[in-house]
C-alpha cells in the first residue's frame, strides 16, 4: 500500500469507526486527536502494511488502542507526580502545555500535508463517483481543520417481524415518555459530588478475515467503572485495578452533568445544539444525532427538563420507531426506541417499560450484510511489476440477519459523596 491514493480508501472507510471507538474509551474532544494521530501513524507506516491482510481494522484499532493506553499512562504519571508534590506546579503545568502544543502542531502539520496529498490524488480521478466526491471533500476539510487547529455471551435475535410502531405513533409514545420523566422526583447533585456509572459492553469481534457472524456467535465482554464530578472538573477510573483521578479536557454534554444541565429544554433548540456539537462530514446525520442522544442518556443523570427534551427531540428525527413489547438481552420486558442505519443496522435505546429509566443500548443486524474491502466508487490497487493492478472484490466479514452487533447495559448509576464510593 505504498501509494497515498490507496490510503484514501482506508481513511474513507474507517475514520468514523476509529473516532467512535476513541470517543467511547475517552471522550469526544480527545477522540479528534486520537483519530487524527491514528491515521497519521498509519499513513507514515503504510508501506509496511501486509497486503495479504484485506481488513485494516485490527491494524488501525491496534494503533488507536496504543495511543489511548499511552494517554492514560501519561495521566497516571501526572497524577502520581501531583500527589507526590502535594500541589500542582503552575510553571511545570505551563511547560507541559507548551511542549504538548508544540508537539501537536508538528503532528497536525504532517497530518494536514498527508490528507491534502491524498485529496489531491483523488481529485485527479476522472468523473469521480458520489462516494469519491464525498471522500475528497472530507479529506480537504480534514486537512484544513488540522491546519486551523495549529471522541458475556449473548444469543439474542430480534431481527424481523417485531411489532414496532410507525413514526406517527412513535411520536405519541415518545411525547408520553417526555411528559412522564419531566414529572419525576429529582435532587440535583452538589458540585462536589460524583456521578458513578458501572456499565457492561458486549461486542462482536469481526477482526478475522471472512468471518461470518450469526446469532450463535459469542460476544466479547468488558465491564467499566467511571466517576465524574458533578461540576465536571475531575473524572475517575481504574487502571490495572488502581483508582486514578484526572482533570478532564474539553467535555461534552453526555459525560458532564454541569454541561448537560445547561442544555436547551426546547427540542428544536436541543437538536440544533447537538448538530453543532456532533458534526459529521457525511453519511446519516440524523442517525448520528439519534446515537448521541442515546449516549447522553446512558452516561449521566439528566435533570427532568433536559431528559424530557431528549425524548421530544428523538420524536422529531425521521425514521425513529418504538416497540413497547421488546425484550432485553437478560430476558426482561423493555421499551425500545430505535432507528435503522445503512439499511441493515438497527440501533436501540432500551428503557424500563414502567418508569422509562434508561437501561441500555443495543445494535442488531436487521438484514444480511457483507462488509466488502471496497466501498462503492472507491477502488484499491496493488503495485505489481511497476503497474497498478485493481484489487479483487472480497468480503472482509459478513453478518446474518438477527445477529446482535453490540449491547451496552448500564448496571449501576448513582450520586456519591466521594471518588471511589459506590451507590
Q: Between 118 and 204, name the one with better pLDDT.
A: 204
Q: What is the pLDDT at residue 138?
A: 44
Angle, vertex CA 18, rays to CA 16 and CA 24, nearest 5 = 100
DSSP character string of 188-255? PPPTT-EEEEEEEEEE----STTEEE-TTSPPEEEEEEEEEETTSS-EEEEETTEEEEE---S--GGG
Residue 315 parent element (H or E): helix 304-316
Q: Between 111 and 9, name the one with better pLDDT.
A: 9
Q: What is the DSSP letter of 385?
A: T
pLDDT of 192 above 60: yes
State the maximum Cα–Cα separation within the chain, in Å, rounded to a whole number. 72
pLDDT of 6 above 90: no
**335 vs 167: CA distance, rounded Å:** 15
pLDDT (tens digit per residue) in 111-157: 555 555 544 544 444 344 444 444 444 444 444 444 333 333 333 33
Looking at residues 245-262, what average pLDDT do you find? 78
Domain boundaries in the chain? 4-151, 167-366+401-416
Looking at residues 192-211, what average pLDDT do you find? 88
Q: What is the pLDDT at residue 2?
A: 47
pLDDT band at 26 (very low <50, low <70, confident <90, very high): confident
Query: Is the distance from CB of 118 to CB of 8 less than 8 angstroms?
Result: yes
Distances, alpha carbon 117 to alpha carbons 7, 222, 246, in Å? 10, 39, 38
Looking at residues 13-40, what average pLDDT do you find? 77
Across all residues in the chain, what is the average pLDDT? 76
pLDDT of 59 above 50: yes
pLDDT band at 381 (very low <50, low <70, confident <90, very high): low
Q: What is the pLDDT at residue 37?
A: 82
pLDDT of 416 above 50: yes
Q: Between 89 and 299, name the one with better pLDDT.
A: 299
Residue 337 parent element (H or E): strand 333-341
Q: What is the pLDDT at residue 371?
A: 80
pLDDT (tens digit per residue) in 263-309: 999 999 999 999 888 776 566 788 889 989 998 999 889 999 999 99
pLDDT of 409 above 50: yes
Lowest mean pLDDT, pick from 31-45, 105-119, 215-229: 105-119
Query: Is the distance from CB of 337 to CB of 359 less than 8 angstroms?
Result: no
Encode burial over 316-339: b for 16+ CB neighbours within 10 A, e otherwise.
Answer: ebeebbbbeebebbeeeebbbbbb
Query: Is the distance from CB of 320 to CB of 290 less than 8 angstroms?
Result: yes
Q: What is the pLDDT at residue 322?
A: 94
DSSP character string of 238-303? EETTEEEEE---S--GGG-HHHHTTS-SSHHHHHHHHHHHS--SSS-HHHHHHHHHHHHHHHS---
Name the percent of the chain lying above pLDDT 70: 66
Residue 349 parent element (H or E): strand 345-351
pLDDT of 182 above 60: yes
Lowest mean pLDDT, pick from 43-57, 90-104, 398-412: 90-104
Query: Is the distance from CB of 154 to CB of 281 less than 8 angstroms?
Result: no
What's the distance, Cα to Cα, between the start and end of the chain in Å? 52
The C-alpha cell of 200 is what? 457492561
Q: What is the pLDDT at residue 91?
A: 40
Query: Is the distance from CB of 248 to CB of 232 less than 8 angstroms?
Result: yes
Q: Between 241 and 377, name the one with better pLDDT.
A: 241
- What proportions of the chain, in percent to the nearest 5, are helix, strand and coil? 45, 20, 35
Distances, alpha carbon 276 to alpha carbons 262, 285, 342, in Å? 15, 11, 23
pLDDT of 229 above 60: yes
Query: Is the distance from CB of 55 to CB of 396 less than 8 angstroms?
Result: yes
Q: What is the pLDDT at residue 121?
A: 44
Give Cα 140 to chain centroid, integer Å: 23
Q: Which of 253, 206, 131, 200 is nearest to 365 (CA)?
A: 206
The C-alpha cell of 325 is what? 413489547
Q: What is the pLDDT at residue 97?
A: 45
Whole-structure pTM over 0.85, yes or no? no
Q: Between 31 and 356, name the one with better pLDDT.
A: 356
Amino acid at each position: 500500500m505504498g501509494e497515498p491514493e490507496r490510503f484514501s480508501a482506508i481513511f474513507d472507510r474507517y475514520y468514523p469507526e476509529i473516532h467512535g471507538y476513541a470517543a467511547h474509551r475517552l471522550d469526544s474532544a480527545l477522540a479528534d486527536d486520537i483519530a487524527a494521530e491514528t491515521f497519521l501513524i498509519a499513513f507514515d507506516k503504510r508501506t509496511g502494511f501486509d497486503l495479504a491482510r484485506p481488513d485494516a481494522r485490527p491494524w488501525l484499532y491496534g494503533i488507536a488502542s496504543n495511543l489511548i493506553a499511552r494517554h492514560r499512562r501519561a495521566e497516571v504519571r501526572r497524577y502520581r507526580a501531583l500527589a507526590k508534590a502535594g500541589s500542582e506546579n503552575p510553571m511545570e503545568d505551563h511547560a507541559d502545555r507548551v511542549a504538548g502544543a508544540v508537539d501537536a502542531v508538528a503532528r497536525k502539520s504532517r497530518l494536514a500535508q498527508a490528507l491534502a496529498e491524498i485529496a489531491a490524488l483523488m481529485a485527479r480521478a476522472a468523473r469521480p463517483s458520489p462516494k469519491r466526491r464525498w471522500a475528497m471533500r472530507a479529506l480537504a476539510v480534514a486537512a484544513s481543520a488540522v491546519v486551523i487547529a495549529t471522541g458475556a455471551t449473548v444469543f439474542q435475535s430480534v431481527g424481523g417481524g417485531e411489532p414496532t410502531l410507525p413514526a406517527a405513533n412513535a411520536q405519541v409514545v415518545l411525547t408520553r415518555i417526555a411528559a412522564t420523566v419531566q414529572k419525576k422526583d429529582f435532587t440535583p447533585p452538589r458540585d462536589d459530588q460524583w456521578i458513578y456509572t458501572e456499565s457492561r459492553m458486549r461486542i462482536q469481534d469481526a477482526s478475522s478475515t471472512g468471518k461470518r457472524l450469526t446469532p450463535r456467535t459469542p460476544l466479547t465482554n468488558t465491564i467499566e467503572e467511571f466517576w465524574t464530578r458533578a461540576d465536571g472538573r475531575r473524572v475517575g477510573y481504574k487502571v490495572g485495578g488502581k483508582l486514578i483521578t484526572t482533570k478532564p479536557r474539553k467535555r461534552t454534554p453526555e459525560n458532564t452533568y454541569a454541561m448537560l444541565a445547561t442544555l436547551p429544554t426546547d427540542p428544536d433548540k436541543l437538536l440544533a445544539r447537538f448538530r453543532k456539537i456532533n458534526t459529521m462530514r457525511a453519511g446519516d446525520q440524523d442517525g448520528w444525532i439519534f446515537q448521541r442522544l442515546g449516549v447522553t442518556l446512558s452516561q449521566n443523570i439528566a435533570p427532568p427538563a433536559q431528559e424530557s427534551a431528549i425524548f421530544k427531540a428523538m420524536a422529531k428525527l425521521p425514521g425513529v420507531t418504538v416497540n413497547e413489547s421488546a425484550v432485553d438481552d437478560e430476558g426482561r420486558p423493555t421499551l425500545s426506541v430505535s432507528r435503522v442505519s445503512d439499511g441493515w443496522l438497527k440501533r436501540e435505546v432500551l428503557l424500563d417499560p414502567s418508569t422509562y429509566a434508561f437501561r441500555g443500548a443495543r445494535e442488531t443486524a436487521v438484514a444480511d450484510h457483507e462488509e466488502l474491502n471496497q466501498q462503492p466508487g472507491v477502488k484499491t490497487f496493488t503495485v505489481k511489476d511497476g503497474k497498478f493492478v485493481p484489487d479483487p472484490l472480497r468480503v472482509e466479514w459478513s453478518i446474518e440477519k438477527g445477529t446482535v452487533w453490540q449491547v451496552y447495559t448500564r448496571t449501576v448509576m448513582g450520586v456519591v459523596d466521594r471518588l471511589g464510593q459506590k451507590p
